[in-house]
Amino acid sequence: MQNRRVRSLISLDNLSDADLRHIVRRGTEFAAGGVIGAPLEGDVVGIYFQKTSTRTRTAFSSGALRLGAQIIAYGPGDLQVNTGETIADTGRVLAGMLNVLVARTAEDPGDLRAMAAPGTMAVVNAMTADEHPTQALTDLVTLQQHLGRTRDFALLYVGEGNNSAAALALALTRCPGATLELRTPPGYGLADDVLARAGEQAERHGARIVERHDMAALPPDFDAIYTTRWQTTGTTKPDPAWRDVFAPFQVTAALWETSPKALFLHDLPAHRGEEVTAEVLDGPASVAFRQAENKMHTAMAVLEWCRVGLPNA
């Protein structure tokens, strides 16, 4: 199995348009019908999480097993990086023993690039501070599943311009005819470079991205409304009054008055009464828990892409 081509997913930038469409299609197929065969039989997948995780860690562990691979799980204190070994040396060692490493690191995606440098082990970004690429792919699988398309839709994102929002911006602006409207609290918007990259992609693909820092004059008829928790996993906010800044951006049932058919998405975990009301999260528009299940189906599609790639590629 080691002679296969190695493909890593450290950023959505690593995916061509054809790669992105393929992963979303395969994730949707896995969600609909399960797995035929064991395309990763004989592979060993490392699961390395320096930060807490319920959905992503379980999704990749379960997904790898369902595809026929075996897994080795590492906790945050298990590797010798904690005693001074460099990330690059750790990557060289793991590359001789693993086929794929799924990693959630503390901050810098440069750590993942260093681990991928030997070129013989695929590396998957299970979330860094700046981007959560497999979450956005999961979101596209969920939209395909419930809307029947990943083009010509309008999505409203409400909340912090965090790593999930960044990935969403970098994924949805590659969907022809899509509109992504972001309403982010002042001082908590998308990073300038992400907004610029997403804008360039939108222009190339006939999509549209808009960011504002208030909740006034919202357009009607969104197909989906999305939020994430206000306190992003593993982070803190230096402003002690940040909750006052975020309060107007709570997702409530009032948003459905002008978008009555909109789905509700949330990457979870959720805090009812903060970023979203219980009425919305547990209501009929919510597909948040189906979205969470889709993380496993999408993880399977990503792992298969890393090791098998596109048909006839």
155-178 pLDDT per residue, tens: 999 999 999 999 999 999 999 999
Tell me whether residue 5 is in a domain. Answer: no
Measuring CA to CA, which residue among 167, 88, 86, 158 is closest to residue 134?
167
- Do 149 and 264 lie in a common domain? yes
Position 275 in a domain: yes
**80 and 165 both lie in a single domain:** no
39: Cα within 13 Å, side-chain hemisphere? 20
249 and 190 both lie in a single domain: yes
Q: What is the pTM of this model?
A: 0.95
**What's the total number of domains in the chain?**
2
In angstroms, rounded to a whole number, what is the distance separating the alpha carbons of residues 272 and 250? 10
- In tens, the pLDDT along 99-109 reads 999 999 866 78
Asked if residue 262 and residue 149 are part of one domain, the reply reads yes
Domain hosting 37: range is: 12-131+295-307
> Does one domain contain both 171 and 202?
yes
Answer yes or no: are the C-beta atoms of 212 and 180 closer than 8 Å. no
Q: Is 294:141 a contact under the CB 8 Å cutoff?
A: yes
- Do residues 38 and 155 share a domain? no
23 in Cβ contact with 303 (< 8 Å): no
Q: Taking Cα atoms as reference points, which of 213, 218, 228, 215 lies closest to residue 269?
A: 228
224: its two tokens = 């989906």
Answer whether residue 49 shows pLDDT above 80: yes
> Which pair of structure tokens corresponds to residue 228?
């994430």
Smallest CA-to-CA distance from 305 within 3, 4, 19 is with 19
| pLDDT, position 4 | 64
The answer to whether 64 and 71 are in contact (CB under 8 A) is: yes
